[in-house]
Amino acid sequence: MIKISQKLKNKLWWLVISVDYDYSRISIADHDFNGETLTLWLEDKHDFKNTLDECLEVNIPAGHFAKLIKDENLNSYNGSKMHPVKVYVYKTRVEINEAIAWYQDDATLTEQQWAREAVLKSVLTQLVETETRGSDMI
């Protein structure tokens, strides 16, 4: 779970409301990954902004980004391995590389885009689920 400040929650809700709850209209205008933080600039596809300053900036710590890559199995594939002692083959998830190293070194541009979109989906899902659950208790 990604920790979202109340200020960012309010801004995300404003963005969700401005796209009339059509989450497919929210797009990633730009991104930056410095090894410690993934920064996404979000905007409405129907209302493109002229500068990044006009977009909503979301910062995701590298640890949360790595966990999401692992959870989504983006840095692994279904494959077969041979047991080192008993010499039989079994099916398992084969990890290509550690999550962040995979993103920076091994992933294609399309796979990197999928990873960033998975982060966006996760943030929006978490926002809706936590706010909805919170309002049910009232």
Query: Band of the pLDDT at 18, cuts 50, 70, 90?
Result: confident
- Weakest mean pLDDT among 87-91, 125-129, 134-138: 134-138
Beta strands in the chain, from DSSP E residues, in sequence order = 26-33, 37-44, 56-61, 76-82, 89-95
pLDDT at 138 over 70: no
Query: Band of the pLDDT at 133, cuts 50, 70, 90?
Result: low
Beta carbons of 60 and 41 less than 8 angstroms apart: no
The reply to whether 16 falls in a domain is yes
Q: Structurally, how many domains does the chain consist of?
A: 1
The reply to whether 28 falls in a domain is yes
Mean pLDDT of the chain: 88
For the stretch 95-119, pLDDT in tens is 899 999 999 999 999 999 999 999 9
The reply to whether 73 falls in a domain is yes
The reply to whether 77 falls in a domain is yes
Collapsing DSSP to helix, strand or coil, 32 comes out as: strand
The reply to whether 85 falls in a domain is yes
Collapsing DSSP to helix, strand or coil, 138 comes out as: coil
pLDDT at 136 over 50: no
For the stretch 59-88, pLDDT in tens is 999 999 999 999 999 999 899 888 889 889
Q: Which helix or strand (DSSP H or E) is residue 99 part of?
A: helix 99-101
The reply to whether 36 falls in a domain is yes
Could you give the CA distance from residue 52 to residue 120 in angstroms, rounded to a whole number? 17
The reply to whether 1 falls in a domain is no
The reply to whether 46 falls in a domain is yes
Predicted local distance difference test score (pLDDT) of residue 132: 60
Collapsing DSSP to helix, strand or coil, 65 comes out as: helix
For the stretch 20-65, pLDDT in tens is 888 889 999 999 999 899 999 999 888 888 888 889 999 999 999 9
